Chain A
Amino acid sequence: MPVIEVENLVKTYNGVRAVDGVSFTVEEGEIFGIVGPNGAGKTTTVESVEGLRHPDQGVIRVLGLDPIRDRYELTERVGAQLQESRLQDKIEVGEVLDLYASFYRNPADWRGLVDRLGLGGKVDARYGDLSGGQKQRLSVALALVGSPEIAVLDELTTGLDPQARRSTWDTIEQIRDDGVTVVLVTHFMEEAERLCDRIMVVDHGRVVAIDTASALMDRLGSEQRLRFRPSAPVADADLLGLPEVVAVDHRGPQVVVTGSGNVVQAVTALLTKHEVVAEDLRIEQRSLEEAYLALTDTPEATNEGEER
């Protein structure tokens, strides 16, 4: 059963269509990822779902509610973590959780929440003294303190070191295990691949694809790439003669063979026949990152988090 339904969402800023006809549904209990280049309209989309922005066109239903008209009820049932939002430097972790818990009619037990999020020892710490990862986890805690049915998390792990990022991922999986539907805006493909049941790719305000990570990767075909250093020279023509091989490339002493099907077996068999050993053999599969880059027309994934 869908808990979020968005139909033909349009939002224009200064004559530019930041969101240009986006439609999608989010099912109860899933982790739904939204990925796309900066300025693709990700944040505008989720902030419209949260009722923070008034769309120019389109219909949004969240738990059957209209985010603008049923604002109050929505805030009770949807928890939000906003991009680039901070708290007062001198407020203590326990104080802010206690304060935010008091806003909701069915608050979660915030002490249990901080323990689970690994902030148990930080209840008396001031916000300004927390590390980046701790601030983000507090932000997740605040999004959950009202016992929401849906949590919308916008660029949760931007600016975190890899270790903090991974522990935040564990947190998100825990949230889902508790039955909360999660909408996750990210630009880390690794994060989307690891966490999301389905991923929506947006670019220039439009939906490019909505699918599982593996289905998105399959769209690229089942190409594989072998990279090795031959112990003796191998003629390109011999390799290209194999029906499985599509391309042969040289990177210094390394040979890079791209192909499909049983390309790995075919190439190793050929090498054995020629009594050549493939040293440092590595087999690379197409990643979600490549699928993403193929779907969007960005030259490469960026790491900055600015978006309107």
Chain B
Amino acid sequence: MAATMKLTRAESRLFLRDPIALFFGLVFPGLLLLALGLFFPGFDEQTADLAGKRYIDVYSPMALALGLATLGLVTLPPILGTYRQFGILRRLRTTPVHPARLLLAQLWVHGAVAVIAAAIAVIVAVTAFDVPFPERPVWFVLAFVLAAASVFAIGLLVGARARTTVSGQAIGMAIYFPMLFFAGMWIPRTIMPDGLRTVSDLTPLGSAVQAIEDAWFGATPSATNLLVMLAYTVVVGFVAVRVFRWE
């Protein structure tokens, strides 16, 4: 346990020394909301485009999902690819500490950054644009944790096999953009055609956006959305652990 803590501290320091990861992983979701709200005309007004909702209400949960996807699919896989490429995982195998501890440390670091990034985004939405504070906080936290777990499981699977930094980046990106699309980044779920929304429900990020939005605005998240995220977490996480290569 002491080793995991030491590793987590070391990996946190390294994360803080990476300005790009820091920007996109930590501040980008909040900053995006702020920029959209300030510069996109009518972003915080009700609109017929979204069946009476405000863009800011739809994009606030989206921003949280975006932050998770960025951390899980853009930041995490290349780190694991690098650690494999450099032989860092292999080097750890020659010490009394199993390299699984390093993975655990990475997940802790990414989880902590995800929580802080989400908090910043929520604060921006609540203080700048009159979005209510999440109305069902317990469901909200549960939805967020499941969302994080499912997205990180996918990132771990990518990182389980990525031989290099670059392959980790490439595969991560190839999943990142389609996931954001199905989550409603460009066509909000509210106005998605039914077929597309069904597909969206079957992706972890689509379910994440819906569940977080539900809890934020006072509804109980649907069992379907929660189960989809849980299923990805368990199945993909299991496969990731099974196929993980230490070298």
Contact = CB atoms under 8 A, between A and B. Distances in A.
> Which secondary structure dominates where chain A touches chain B?
loop
Given A86-B87, A86-B88, A76 B96 contact: yes
Interface stretch (A21-29, A98-106, A201-209, A267-275): A98-106
A90 B14 contact: yes
Contacts of B10: 91, 95-96, 99
Given A99-B7, A102-B2, A103-B3, A88 B14 contact: yes
Interface of B: 2-3, 6-7, 10, 13-14, 17-18, 82-83, 86-88, 90-91, 93-97
A3 to B, nearest CB: 17
A75 B95 contact: yes
B88 A85 contact: yes
Contacts, number: 61
Interface in A62-107: 72, 75-76, 78-80, 82, 84-88, 90-91, 95-96, 99-100, 102-105
A76 B18 CA distance: 33
Contacts of B2: 102
20 contacts: A51-B94, A52-B93, A72-B96, A78-B94, A82-B91, A86-B86, A86-B88, A87-B86, A91-B10, A91-B13, A95-B13, A99-B6, A99-B7, A100-B95, A102-B3, A102-B6, A103-B96, A103-B97, A142-B91, A146-B96
A104 B95 contact: yes
Interface residues of A, number: 27
The 9 closest A-B pairs by CB, nearest first: A85-B87, A80-B94, A86-B86, A90-B17, A103-B97, A75-B96, A103-B95, A102-B6, A85-B91
Nearest to A126: B17
Given A90-B17, A95-B13, A146 B95 contact: yes
Given A90-B17, A90-B18, A99-B6, A52 B86 contact: no
Nearest to B246: A52
A84 B6 CA distance: 25
A50 interface: yes
Contacts of A104: 95-96
Contact of A84 (B3, B7, B87, B95): B87
Contacts of B82: 88
